[in-house]
Amino acid sequence: MPDDTPALDLLALLPDEWRAVLTPHLDPARMSALSEFVAAEYVAGPVFPPVEDLFSAFRLCPPSACRVLILGQDPYHRAGQAHGLSFSVREGVSVPPSLRNVFKELGEDLGVPKPGSGNLDGWAAQGVLLLNSVLTVRQGAPGSHANRGWEEFTDATIRALDALESRVVFLLWGGYARKKAALVGNPQHVVLEAGHPSPMNPRGFLGSRPFSAANKALADAGLPTIDWERSAG
């Protein structure tokens, strides 16, 4: 890393509870290399989400409270959109096409009115971990931070959740996310797969009724269900 690049320790930025459960699943050398890469990218910038929002999903949803995982891919790569939660956008930002399909399915599944905002903080606060497979992206360059180590971090997160005793429902949408089902071996947990909500090919997602299915799986385990109508925090 260049001498003028500020040091960035990604693990140090994580909330304490997450750091404790993730550390056994992470390779220190790989995390160090990822930290150096991400630090240099933030200096070169712009990179999204802003560093202060990098681990928002983890801050809002500690592992002990996690009941549902929704796995995305890249953060949004346009200015003002990404804020650390997969699929979510900040208040006042136009709802992106994939999230529009998520809301469309939510309405078909549970009769929920279309939310007035694309901010999903309210889901996260109820125990929905809105995780991207890659947590950072260069502005205007989707996939620019792939294969740099974030994928291993995401896998470690899934393994850490798999080790929990309380049921977690894994909502895996799209080909990439569905491959992660192999990381879930605990029979206590439930994996629900569907197509990606992208408008490019939404047929495998629309009609999949993931929200009612997730709530049924939680109720079957005696756990509180998610109020999916409460999207904004």
Burial level of 171, CB count in 10 A (0-12/13-18/19+)? buried
Cα Dmax for the chain = 55
Spatial CB neighbours of 31, under 8 Å, sequence gap ≥ 6 = 10, 11, 149, 153
| Catalytic pick among 3, 9, 74, 227 | 74
β partners of residue 172: 71, 193
β partners of residue 194: 173
Which amino acid is residue 7, in one-letter code? A
Q: Is 74 annotated in the active site?
A: yes
Residues annotated as catalytic are 74
